[in-house]
Structures are given as structure tokens and as C-alpha cells.
Amino acid sequence: MSLPPRPAGDHLRSDAGQLQSAPAALRGHLALLEENQGETPWCGPAALALATGRSYAEASAMLRAIAPPWYPAEGPIVTAYWRDLLGGLEMAGIPYAPLALPERRRSLIRFVRDGLEQGWYLLRITDHFLLLRSHGFGLGTLHDNRHTGVLVSRKAHGGRHVTHAAKLLGGPLAGA
């Protein structure tokens, strides 16, 4: 039994345009590691790079453009600020909705399990930035500078407290 022949001609050209409108695939921490010449990337620029679909270097440049006095002109950005990550989303044209958090901070596990709706979230947890994909039903996977698609658990940042959160309403991850 043989495979049917592949279509040829204009049909392929019309299909090719559909690929451009497909959502960008999420890069993982290993791609960021490679982009950073084998050095573990820092969490702020890494989270911004993953959320915007930009390279690690472009995300670092965005942070420098948003707040030049706060970031070194060259070298790694070790400490990033929540307001600047949100500014990076705005610069990239990615809409987001800040989430109101209770005064008493919840752990990441509790945050995910307490009815978080499906979608992508940019989070600041205790001393760290990451992207969270909520799958609904209390299940979430995290994406950061050291993990790609890891289930939220005690070992994977689950015990840290959520201090800032924004739901991503558009951008390359919205359709992923």
C-alpha cells in the first residue's frame, strides 16, 4: 500500500500563508540557555522573552529601553522589576489583565488549585518570575529559566508565594 501523491501547485502556496498566522511555539529553558551562550538565563528577561516570543537578548534590550537607569548597559540583567516586565508586555503589544490578589499571599500551589481559569499568566513569586499555564481543574505547568512545562509541585516553586500576577490576553502564547 502506497501513500497518495502530494498535492502540487497553487494549493501549497495558499496553505503556506496559514502557517504564518499560527501561534508561535513556546520555546523552552534549553533554548534560552543556548541563546545566552550556555549560561543559565536570569528569570526576569527569560519570562519576558517567553511571554513575548522574543529572544533573550531582545527581552533584555526591552528592559533596558523601558528603564535605562535601573539596568546595566551591558552584561546580564540579574534583577528585574514587575513594572518593567509589564512595560515589556505593553511594548510588545501584548494585552494583559492584572489580577487582584488577597492581602495574605497564597502559595503557588494554592493559587493554581483555587479555581484559576485556564490561560497563560505572568507571575512574580517569592524572588522569582515565571510563566504559568493553567489547564483548569487545579492543574498548572510552569515555564521559566530552568523549567519547561513542569507541573506545579512543592519541588517546582509550589511553596513560594504569589506576589504579583497578570493574565496574558494576547500575544504568541494566547493560541498555544
What SS3 class is residue 50? helix
What SS3 class is residue 47? helix
Task: Tell me the pLDDT of the chain (176 aa) as tens digits.
Answer: 454 444 444 443 333 333 333 334 578 888 888 988 889 999 999 999 999 999 999 999 999 999 999 999 998 999 999 999 999 999 999 999 999 999 999 999 999 999 899 999 999 999 999 999 999 889 999 999 898 999 999 888 889 999 999 999 998 887 76
Residue of 83, 45, 43 lying closest to 62 (CA atoms)? 45
Domains of the chain: 26-168 (3.90.70.10)
Q: What is the pTM of this model?
A: 0.83
What was the pLDDT predicted at 22? 32
75: left (phi over 0), alpha (psi -120 to 50) or beta: left
What was the pLDDT predicted at 4? 44
* 63: β partners: none
What was the pLDDT predicted at 13? 37
What was the pLDDT predicted at 19? 30
What was the pLDDT predicted at 107? 95
